[in-house]
Amino acid sequence: MGRWLVKTERESYGWDDLVRDGGTEWDGVRNHAAAKHLRAMAAGDPVLVYHSGADKAAVGIARVARAARPDGEEGWVSVRLEPAEPLAAPVTLAAMKATPALKDMAMLRQSRLSVSPVTAAEWDAIVAIARR
């Protein structure tokens, strides 16, 4: 099972929108590295939803409801995400950067990447921070 993080801006399509809609097609990703991660997602994989922009925090957990399918031409793909649960509390970027267990996290090393993998240890660390 993979674990993932997707970035979005709350103002354009955030966690509350995902919950309201009951899910969405995660499309429009036009970065080769991020698209590679979308292709690797499998139905049932958990996904952290991270608000970039002003919030800069992980706010909820979604699930991959359907694996990758074509998104337009030129080999781009999309997946279907559905909300699972909100995090107990937002986990800010500052908290992530201050956590030694997250020092090698892909999102922190490649901050412009909109879709990235999360290791099991990183996942556990983020969930623990949210529960504090």
Which positions ≥6 away from 48 have C-beta within 8 Å? 3, 4, 5, 6, 58, 60, 61, 62, 118, 123, 126
pTM of the model: 0.96
Q: Which two tokens stand for residue 56?
A: 């800069």
Q: How many residues does the chain have?
A: 132
pLDDT, mean of each 10-residue run, the chain (132 residues): 96 97 97 96 98 95 98 94 98 98 95 94 98 93
Closest CA to 63 of 75, 46, 48: 46
CB contact at 8 A, 35 and 76: yes
Which positions ≥6 away from 62 have C-beta within 8 Å? 6, 18, 46, 47, 48, 49, 81, 82, 83, 84
Looking at 10-114, which runs of residues are DSSP E strands? 24-26, 46-52, 57-70, 77-92
CB contact at 8 A, 15 and 51: yes
The rounded distance, in Å, linking the Cα atoms of 12 and 70 is 22
| pLDDT the model gives residue 82 | 98
